[in-house]
Amino acid sequence: MNKKTLVVLGGFILIVAVIQMFERGDTRVADAEIGAPLLPGLAEALDTVEQVSVSSAEGSFTLAREDAGWGIVERGYYPVDFLDLTTLTTSLAEAKYVERKTTRAENLRRMGLEDVTAIGSTSVLVELSGGEQSWSVLLGDRASARTGQYARFPPETQVWQINKYVAVDRNPVDWLEQTIINIESDRVIRVVVDHSDGERLELSKEDGTFALPDLAEGEELKYSSVASEPSRALVNMRLTDVISGAELDWAEPVVSQYYCADGLIVTVEAIESEGKHYVRLGAGLDDSVADVAAEVQAEAAEIEARSDRVFEVAQYTYKDVSKRRADLLKAPPAEDADVAGE
């Protein structure tokens, strides 16, 4: 093989190698983006962000800022968990390019970076805006055998590895403030539960302990502290969703009222519909309590301001606010079979 042939062959091999390096994003190729912010300018503009949209195969929703704070548009601007929101925006602002990866569209699926509209897509598109600026990025799987994550900017097929994994909840419910109300049980001195069939359960605290009045002969509490359970119904009450409630029938709810020693009265209406459970809350002040503190008045006003909200709750929460007398008593002993047969 002569010298000229070797030169031509060597040049051909070099060209093929360079093409392959670019196709697979070989890090030996100098890249100005490496180490640079994934979303330029976001870190400096975090305080100006007014909207964050999340889209995935499960659907889309938007977090937006109003005068009252951040809320989810599709949930009537119900408040979001601000810590979760700032964790997301800060993570995106801190994300940096680590390595240029493939540009081949056929590789996107195995990196979790197909378009969110693709069947079986696992990617999530995050879009942020504020003022005259906007940012968007499609996030995929964790980087294999390394820290970080794969990302790209549709419609481009260029995949990048970034320096951290940015977790994004795809269900809007996961972004909501989960606690509906939190009233410590030691504040509650009286509980009244009214059922639509006319049954009323009324419990009052005497000498620091709740008691079930008028126990009939043969009636026995399940255990000594069972009468205190209804007073704990408002401790860290949590939601499973927030809905409009317009389609629900509230004609015959269970109505429970919780009287606090400091003058706060909380009212909970509860219904069951098609296997799901819903509550709505209101609040007022006890006229029999003199000089109710300003903070208690503000607390009542805050609860009452959300009285138009309907919360879906877990079944156990519904049971907590809809107790009946029988729920607190031991079941009567079964009759002896021989006696029952006589």
**123-182 pLDDT per residue, tens:** 999 999 998 999 999 999 999 877 899 999 999 999 999 999 999 999 999 999 999 999
For 11-20, how does the pLDDT look when each residue is reduced to its tens digit (9 = 90+)? 444 444 444 4
Position 54 pLDDT exceeds 90: yes
pLDDT number for residue 25: 44
pLDDT number for residue 335: 62
Position 33 pLDDT exceeds 90: no
Cut 0.85: pTM above it = no
For 263-280, how does the pLDDT look when each residue is reduced to its tens digit (9 = 90+)? 999 999 999 999 999 999
Position 337 pLDDT exceeds 50: no
Separation of alpha carbons 228 and 65, rounded Å: 41
